[in-house]
Amino acid sequence: MIKTKFTEMFGIEKPIVQGGMQHLGVADFASLVSNAGGMGTMNITCYPGIEEFHEDVIKMKSLTDKPFIVNISLVPDLTRGEEIFKYINVCAKEKVAAIEFAGASPVEFMPACKEAGIKIIHKSPNAKVAASMARKGADVITIAGYEVAGHPSLDGIGTFVIANKAAKVCAEYGVPVLAAGGVADGKGLAAALALGAQGVVMGTRFVATTECPISDNHKQWLLDHTEKDTVLIQKSIHNAARVGNNLAAKLTLEMEARGTTLQELMTVISGKISKLLKQLGITPNLKGYLYLRQAIEIGVRDASVFDGITKRLYPHIAEQNHTTSTSVERTIRHAIDTVWSKGNKELFWSITQTCTLERPTNSQFIIQLAEYFTEY
């Protein structure tokens, strides 16, 4: 057990928070972190709507009796006040320990949280914002330095430099600071504590755990790459995110460079494709999930690739993933076979307005889903 002001505030054993990762901030995973003595984080972007979120919060409480956090990202142009209050009301009803706000200022939502007894965590990009939010009533400040995955500070200053300064200024208000970005082991935790932080937030490190519900290919990608293999996307919508420099990231940067619309960009970054694949029965740990998702994303971006799926699309995906076109084709076929043998093929029929007992070819499956998302 490591005692800090943060652990004492929530009655937890370890000053370690699991970052509110998109697609992964759900009850099944976050509860494991809370049960292990840290604090798991649920992310509202993982759910289609408020009802699904509420159901998973209830599930979270059935899986752990330990405190947990709900992450709410206030993305400009994408979040509306009345919607946010609905999520806060759920958190209040279910007695969620804390809400972490990121993005725009959460000042209008803070009174509702205070009234419900919910602790307010604010993700701040620098010491100035940290001090301002501490003065306005935040209970905890998370410093998101330039290294952080997800949404980093764009000041170009490292986590530990900012955390050291923020810890000093926030101490004047009795508000503990957490360091986020570049922390992956006990040495990083020790360094953060030595600089005055009261804990750390880790995201990517949890992705590479055995328990994380993503494909082994994704985990291996993390292990095979270095700190130089990340890029910043979404700067055009004022919600910059650091991500792995993979095919989806490159597609996003291409779209931003040519002046894409927010609606087009959200097709790739919102996770709608991933959510639909899961609903069809193609889960992240299934062979072919990653390649199929990438194929659909490319098709949404540029339908001309469908003129040569075997000669253009498969080789492109293979190059990005350091594999062969044959492997891409084979694993995609396996994923589609799974839908047809034990998945939700009725959903496929519904969204593509087709109804045939015959399994679609790889090309048919990819093209029909890409067309669906283009229209969607």
CATH for 336 = 1.10.10.10
pLDDT of 376 strictly over 60: no
**Ramachandran sector of residue 179 (left: φ over 0; alpha: ψ -120 to 50; beta: rest):** beta
Cα(363)–Cα(270) distance, rounded to whole angstroms?
24
Q: What is the pLDDT of residue 22?
A: 80
Give the residue carrying structure tokens 């005055």: 196
Claim to verify: residue 287 and residue 169 sit in the same structural domain: no
Query: Which residues is 150 bridged to in the sheet?
Result: 242
Residue 216 lies in a domain: no
Claim to verify: residue 164 and residue 254 sit in the same structural domain: no
**Ramachandran sector of residue 353 (left: φ over 0; alpha: ψ -120 to 50; beta: rest):** left
| DSSP string for 20-55 | --TTT-SHHHHHHHHHTTSB-EEEGGGSSSHHHHHH
pLDDT of 306 strictly over 70: yes
| DSSP string for 54-117 | HHHHHHHHHH-SS--EEEEEE-TTT--HHHHHHHHHHHHHTT-SEEEEEES--GGGHHHHHHHT
Residue 212 lies in a domain: no
Claim to verify: residue 132 and residue 57 sit in the same structural domain: yes
pLDDT digits over 116-167, tens only? 999 999 999 999 999 999 999 999 999 999 998 877 877 889 999 999 999 9
Q: What is the mean pLDDT of residues 269-284?
A: 81
Q: Are 65 and 37 in contact (CB under 8 A)?
A: no
Q: Are 233 and 269 in contact (CB under 8 A)?
A: yes
pLDDT digits over 19-54, tens only? 998 878 999 999 999 999 999 999 998 887 899 999
Enter the tokens of residue 224: 């095979």
Residue 215 lies in a domain: no
Domain coverage including residue 371: 226-375
Claim to verify: residue 127 and residue 232 sit in the same structural domain: no
Number of structural domains the chain divides into: 2
Question: CATH number, domain at 120?
Answer: 3.20.20.70
Q: What is the mean pLDDT of residues 58-80?
A: 87
CA angle (317 as vertex; 316, 322 as ends), nearest 5: 100
Q: What is the pLDDT of residue 287?
A: 77
More confident call, 235 vs 219: 219
Claim to verify: residue 193 and residue 288 sit in the same structural domain: no
What band does 248 get if pLDDT is binned at 50, 70 and 90? confident
Tally the C-alpha atoms within 13 A of residue 296's C-alpha that lie toward its C-beta: 27
Cα(150)–Cα(205) distance, rounded to whole angstroms?
13
What kind and span of H or E run contains 317?
helix 314-320
Cα(32)–Cα(59) distance, rounded to whole angstroms?
13
Claim to verify: residue 259 and residue 178 sit in the same structural domain: no
In the three-class reduction of DSSP (H, G, I as helix; E, B as strand; rest coil), residue 362 is classed as: helix
